[in-house]
Structure 1
């Protein structure tokens, strides 16, 4: 997908910024040429502000997307991921684990899950930043109960893990 985006918008950095922001926020292009988050129509000016582009870049990005079959198939089918519980987890008794990884990030979710399972803690959510969009991607895991601090050293032993935070 990133190759298609880079290729389609290589001469248009503002359009690329819009497309990346749309993916980041889970925004799709509707058949009517409007932008949506789920069924909620998004105002062009609002998206332009958050993408730090002129409002005209929104319209030109949509036109470019709709003209390209591959991009159209991608952007017409984006679904927002839903609520990430990270910022409210402590308020509702959940645990938060954030793990920053480097380029050797294969199997980290599996290894982290095994350690959490070893303490008989259920995972409610797992969210990972896209390695193509983030220089230092972070895996965020929300658990049914707080993770014991004793696991901190165990998480740091996993190959590819550069930083661990437990909340």
Structure 2
């Protein structure tokens, strides 16, 4: 996906920022040339502010997306992922595990969820940042109940994990 975007917009850093922001937020381009988050229409001004670009960069990015069948297929099918429970976990008595992973991150999700399930802890949600978008991606796991800090040392034994925070 990123190779396609970088190839199509390589001469236009502002357009790359727009495309990255759209993917980060789950924004799609519809047949009418408008940007949506689910069924909520997003204004060019709001997207420009979020991406840190001029509104003209939004218009030109959308035009290129509409005119390129490969890009349009990609951006027309993006969907928002839904609510990430991380920021409200404490309020609703859930646990949060944040795991910073290195470049060698194959199998970390499987290993961490295996460890959690062996402890009899239910997982409500898991969210992994894209390693191509983030220099140090974070795997966030939300659990049914707050987690005991004693698990940190067990997480750190998993290959590819650099840092663990539990709260």
TM-score (norm 2): 0.99
Question: How far does residue 150 in structure 1 lie from its aligned partner after superposition?
Answer: 1.2
Partners in 2 of 1:70 and 1:137 — Cα distance?
27
Q: Deviations over 1:111-148 (max 9, x none)?
A: 10111111111100000000000000000000001111
**Who is 2:82 aligned against?**
82
Q: Does structure 2 retain, via aligned residues, the 8 Å contact 1:116–1:147?
A: no
Partner SS state of residue 164, structure 1: strand
Q: Is it true that 1:92 corresponds to 2:92 in the alignment?
A: yes
Partners in 2 of 1:117 and 1:10 — Cα distance?
44
Partners in 2 of 1:153 and 1:135 — Cα distance?
24
Partners in 1 of 2:70 and 2:123 — Cα distance?
35
Partners in 2 of 1:142 and 1:37 — Cα distance?
24
Partners in 1 of 2:57 and 2:149 — Cα distance?
47
**Who is 2:120 aligned against?**
120
RMSD value, Cα? 0.5
**Who is 1:37 aligned against?**
37
Partners in 2 of 1:116 and 1:93 — Cα distance?
17
How many residues end up aligned between the 2 structures? 167
**Who is 1:2 aligned against?**
2
Q: Runs of 4 or more off by more than 2 Å in structure 1?
A: none
Q: Does structure 2 retain, via aligned residues, the 8 Å contact 1:29–1:75?
A: yes
Unaligned runs of 5+ in 2: none
